Structure 1
Amino acid sequence: MKTISSVVEQYIKHKPFLLNSISQGIINLTSLARIMMPEIEKELGKEVKQGAVVMALKRLSEELDFRINHKLIRVLKNIGEITVRSSLVDYAFVVSETLLENQARLIAEINKNKELFYTSSRGVNESNIIVSSAVSNALEEIFKNEKRTHKVENLSSITVKLPQVNVTTPGVFYYIFQRLAWEGVIIHEVISTTNEFTVIVHDNQIDSAFKIIKDLKNVNEE
């Protein structure tokens, strides 16, 4: 059986930015309840009192405050080393029978210089390879017979070490990417391992992205 509380919660959960704003206490719940009323009544099939919607929002905001301020902050406060790399190039190739073999050749070339950046990710039909621009010519020669779908230059990366508890804490990546989105940072690519993630952005946004991620450690002071 649907209740006012359950319908209100579902309404808010389908609006991520609104969800975060409520948890931070920056939305007037009475005004929000007034806006929500028609949709809540339609979902329940009956009239509801605005006060009941406000109370449901208050309970939800208190629960969200606990989730964010007591679980998520423990992860953000313990963000480890942040590494920035520039002069990167992103390539995408159609998956083929020879692609892995050529990647092995590329890795052998990159291993000659430990300062070079390399990362890759593979989907069902496409594989991405991001490298330092210094190795672009070598890559293009090795992959000359592969079908390339795009090449993007002038990129930078930010690699962040996360505490191990990040894998059991919901919302870590959501919160980080939301902050970046709020500041208008366009994420070109995301690469992650269990306790580390890397975001690739265009060179002209690297300073903003770095500051946002660095400031996450102070989120509990807001």
Structure 2
Amino acid sequence: MKTISSVVENYIKTKPFLQSALAQGIINLTSLSRIIGPEIEEQLGKEVRSGAVVMALKRLSSDMEFRATHKILKVLKNIGEITVRSSLTDYTFLLSDTILNSQASLLKEVNKNKDAFYTSSRGVNETNIVVSNALNTMVETLFREEKMTQKVEDLASITVKLPEENVVIPGIYYFIFQRLAWEGIILHEVISTTNEFTIIVGEGQIDKAFKVIKDLKNL
């Protein structure tokens, strides 16, 4: 049986930004109840008083605030080293029968330059390679037979070391990326390992992105 509380909760869960704003207590619940009231009534099939929706929102926001600020923030306060690199280029190539050979050749050259930045990710149809600008000529030479679909320069990276418990706490990446989105930061790439993640952003946004991530330790 549907209840006002369950319908309100399901509605809020479909609106990630609204969910986060509720958890932080920055929304006028009375105004919100008037806005979502018609949809709640439609799902319940009956008239619903605004006060009942407000009460459901209050209970939900209190519960969400606890969940958002307990386990997740405990992990974020223990964020480790944050490393920033600039002057990067992001290449996208279509997958082919020879692309692994091209990557192997590139890795041999990268190993000769310990100061160079290199990371890559592989999807179903394409692969991305992010390198220091100094390696651009090498990449374009070694991958000259591959189909390049995109090249973006003037990028920077932020690599964040997370505590080991990040793998058993749901919502950590959402919490981080939601705050980056709120600041209007465009993520060109996201690369992660078990206890690290790297975001690639435009050099013009690197200072703002770094501040957002650094401030997570003080929430």
Q: TM-score, normalised by structure 2?
A: 0.98
Counterpart of 2:130, as a letter, is I
- Segment drifting more, 170-179 vs 115-124: 170-179
Specify the SS of the correspondent of 1:38. helix
Aligned position for 1:182:
182
Equivalent residue runs for 1:57-136 within 5 Å: 57-136=57-136
- Write out per-residue CA displacement over residues 91-145 of structure 1, whole angstroms, 9 at most, x where no aligned residue: 0111001101110110000000111100000111100000011111111111111
Q: How does 1:42-61 map to 2 (within 5 A)?
A: 42-61=42-61
Code of the residue aligned with 1:10 in structure 2: it is N
How many residue pairs are counted as aligned between the two chains? 219
Unpaired stretches in structure 2, ≥5 consecutive residues: none
Q: 1:11 Cα shift?
A: 0.9
Q: Kindly report structure 1 stretches of 4+ aligned residues shifted beyond 3 Å.
A: none
Amino acid at match of 1:43: Q
Distance, in Å, in 2 between the alignment partners of 1:49 and 1:8 is 13
Q: Which residue in 1 is equivalent to 2:11?
A: 11
Which amino acid letter does the alignment assign opposite residue 54 of structure 1? Answer: V
Residues 57-108 of structure 1 show CA distances to partners (whole Å, capped at 9, x for unaligned) of: 1111111011111111011101100000011011011100110111011000
Alignment-derived partner of residue 35 in structure 1? 35
Matching of residues 118-157 of structure 1 within 5 Å: 118-157=118-157
Distance 1:152 1:38 in 2: 45
Q: Which moved more, 1:156-165 or 1:26-35?
A: 26-35
1: distance between equivalents of 2:37 and 2:146?
56
What is the rounded CA distance, in whole Å, between the counterparts of 2:206 and 2:152 in structure 1?
A: 15
Provide the TM-score with structure 1 as the length reference. 0.96
What's 1:192 paired with?
A: 192
Q: Secondary structure at the match of 2:199?
A: strand
- Report the secondary structure of 2:102's partner residue: helix
SS at match of 1:179: helix
Q: Distance in 1 between matches of 2:94 and 2:67?
A: 41
Aligned match of 1:167: 167
| 1:20 alignment counterpart | 20
Looking at structure 1, the residues matched to 185 and 26 of structure 2 have their Cα atoms a distance apart, in angstroms, of 23
Which sections of structure 1, spanning at least 5 residues, go unmatched? none
SS of corresponding position for 2:160: strand
Identity %: 68
SS in 1 for 2:5: helix
| Corresponding residue number in structure 2 for 1:208 | 208
